[in-house]
Structure 1
C-alpha cells in the first residue's frame, strides 16, 4: 500500500511540474530569425545584444514601460531594439513577459542578428540595421486553435472583417498629442454578435508607427485571416508593425491609463574595445540614471521610453557574462 501511495504522489508531482512548465512556456507564439546575418559567440554584437536585454529589463515594476525602443552603440557595432506589451496588461505581467523573451530568444533564434519574437502579451525585436519607423508587414507569425472550426466560415469571416474595420478606425483616430507621447496608444478592443449564442471578441494594436502605417498594417492583416486562421475559433496574427487577435471567449482587459514619463536618456559617447578580459564574478547592476518623476505606483499604466546609449567596456563586459548565464 505504501508503495502505491508513493507512486501516486510521484505522479502528482510530475503532473504538477508539467502543468507549471506549460503555463510558463505556452505564452510563446512565433518568431522570425534572419538566416543571412548571424553573429559568432563572444562577438561584439553578442556583447551589445546582451546589454540591450539588460536595458529592457532594468526598470522596476512600478515604472516599467509598456513600449521601449533603444539604440546601443559599441564602436562600429550598433544594435536597434524594441519591446512592446499589450496595452491591457499590468506592468508586473509586462515585465515578466519581456524578461522571459530576452531569456528565451536565443533558443528560438540562435546567433541571428535580425529577430522578431512574439508572445501572447508582448513582443521583442532587435537588429543590426535601423528598423525604427519602417513598416514591416512581410514578416509575420500566427497561432490558432485549428481543431475548433466555425461551421459557417463565410458568415464568420464577414463578421470578423466588419469588426476589424471598426477597430482599425478606432485605433487610428488617436490624437497626435497622445500619439507623440504614447506610441503604444494605437490599441482597440471590441466584440460583435456572431449568432444568438456566440460573440466574437477582438483586439488590435500597432507598434509605434504613424496612423496611416497602422491602418495599412491592420488592413493587410485582415486579408490574411481566411488563409492563416482557417476559420478557427481563436487566432492571433502578428507582424513587425501590428497584431490582431480574436476569440470566442473574452481574453482582454481594460486598456491601461497613459502615464506621462520622460522619454529620453542620453549618456556621452565612450570608446570601447571588443576584446574581453578574464571572466569576472557577476554582480548586480545599478539601474541607469533616469530623470523621470516618481511613479504613482499604478499597476496598469501605459508609458513609453526611448534610449540612445554608447556603452563602456566595463559596463558591457559585466552585462555580457550575466546575460550568458541566463540565456545558455
Structure 2
C-alpha cells in the first residue's frame, strides 16, 4: 500500500512538473532535412499537417508509440510519435501535442523532420522508416557546459552504465527503454537512460544505441550532462536525477496495449 501511494504521489508531482514546463520548454533537439523541401501550400504539406494533427487523438487512445501514414501512393508521408519510457497517459499526450505543434513551426519547409523533447519525440518523412534507424543525421545536445573534475572516472563509469542500459533496453522485458544510476564518488551520482522507438527489433535497437553511445563518447567529452538523439534511439546522462526514482519500472506495467488499423493510419502501443 505504501509503495502504491508513493507511485501515485510521484506521478502527480511528475504531471505538475511536465504541465508547467511544456509551456516554455524549448525542444531538446530539432532536425529539418534541407534536402527534402516542401511547398507550404502543396498537397504534401497538407498531408503532413493532417498527419501531425492525428497524433494527439491517437495518443488519447493510450498508445505510447504511434506509427501513421497519410496520403496516396504518389504523395505519401509517414509519421511517428513516442514518449519516454516512464511517461504515459495525459503526460504523454501533452508532450506529443506540443511537439507536433512546434515541429511545424521549426520545419515548415521540410518533408523530412524530427523533434525531440525531454519526454517525447515526433517525426515524419516521405520515406517509410518504420523498423529502421538512421545515424547519419543525429543531434548532440549539451545543455550543461561545465566539465566534470575527473574526466577519466566519468568516461569509465559512463561506458559501463550505458552498456548495462543498452542490454536492458534490448531485452523484451525492457520494451526498448532502460534507466539507471551509478555512484561516481560518495557525493556524485551518474544517471543514465537509453531508449529505442518501439518499432525497432532488438538487433536494430542494439545497433542504434551502440552508435549513439559511441557518438556520446566522441562528442560529449567530460561534460556533466549530454544527450545524443538519432531517428530511432536516444541516450542521455546527467549528474542529477532526470527520471523520478521508482516510477520507470512501474509505469511500463500499466501501459494499455492498443492496436487499431485505419485506411491510412496505424496506432500502436
TM-score normalised by L of structure 2? 0.83
Q: How far, CA to CA, are the matches of 1:188 and 1:261 in structure 2?
A: 19
Q: How far, CA to CA, are the matches of 2:20 and 2:262 in structure 1?
A: 40
Counterpart for residue 212 of structure 1: 203
Give the 3-state SS of the residue equivalent to 1:28 in structure 2. coil
| 2:161 equivalent to 1:163 | yes
Contact 1:145–1:232 (Cα < 8 Å) also in 2: no
Q: How far, CA to CA, are the matches of 2:169 and 2:210 in structure 1?
A: 12
Alignment of 1:194-213 (within 5 A): 194-207=184-197, 208-213=199-204
Counterpart for residue 313 of structure 1: none
| Aligned-residue CA RMSD (Å) | 2.4
Q: How far, CA to CA, are the matches of 1:60 and 1:149 in structure 2?
A: 38
Counterpart for residue 228 of structure 1: 219
| 2:88 equivalent to 1:90 | yes
Contact 2:165–2:178 (Cα < 8 Å) also in 1: yes
Counterpart for residue 242 of structure 2: 251
Q: How many equivalent pairs are there?
A: 245
Q: Could you tell me how far 1:83 is from its partner in structure 2?
A: 0.5
Contact 1:146–1:229 (Cα < 8 Å) also in 2: no
Change (3 A) 1:21 1:155: same
Counterpart for residue 135 of structure 1: 133
Q: How far, CA to CA, are the matches of 1:196 and 1:73 in structure 2?
A: 56
Q: Give per-residue Cα distances to partners, 1:29-61, cap 9 Å, x unaligned.
A: 111111122111221101111110121011474
Change (3 A) 1:60 1:237: closer
Counterpart for residue 230 of structure 2: 239
Structure 1 unaligned spans of 5+: 1-19, 180-184, 270-287, 291-303, 307-328
Contact 1:235–1:246 (Cα < 8 Å) also in 2: yes
Alignment of 1:1-328 (within 5 A): 24-59=23-58, 61=60, 63-74=61-72, 76-174=74-172, 185-207=175-197, 208-253=199-244, 254-255=247-248, 256-258=251-253, 259-267=255-263, 305=268
Change (3 A) 1:159 1:236: same
Q: Could you tell me how far 1:95 is from its partner in structure 2?
A: 0.9
Give the 3-state SS of the residue equivalent to 1:58 in structure 2. helix
Give the 3-state SS of the residue equivalent to 2:23 in structure 1. helix
> Whose Rg is larger?
1
Change (3 A) 1:71 1:160: same
Q: How far, CA to CA, are the matches of 1:257 and 1:146 in structure 2?
A: 29
Q: Bigger shift: 258-267 or 242-251?
A: 258-267
Q: How far, CA to CA, are the matches of 2:145 and 2:236 in structure 1?
A: 17
Q: How far, CA to CA, are the matches of 1:91 and 1:159 in structure 2?
A: 34
Contact 1:27–1:120 (Cα < 8 Å) also in 2: no
Structure 2 unaligned spans of 5+: 1-18
TM-score normalised by L of structure 1? 0.69
Contact 1:27–1:121 (Cα < 8 Å) also in 2: no
Structure 1 stretches of at least 4 aligned residues deviating more than 6 Å after TM superposition: none
Give the 3-state SS of the residue equivalent to 2:172 in structure 1. coil
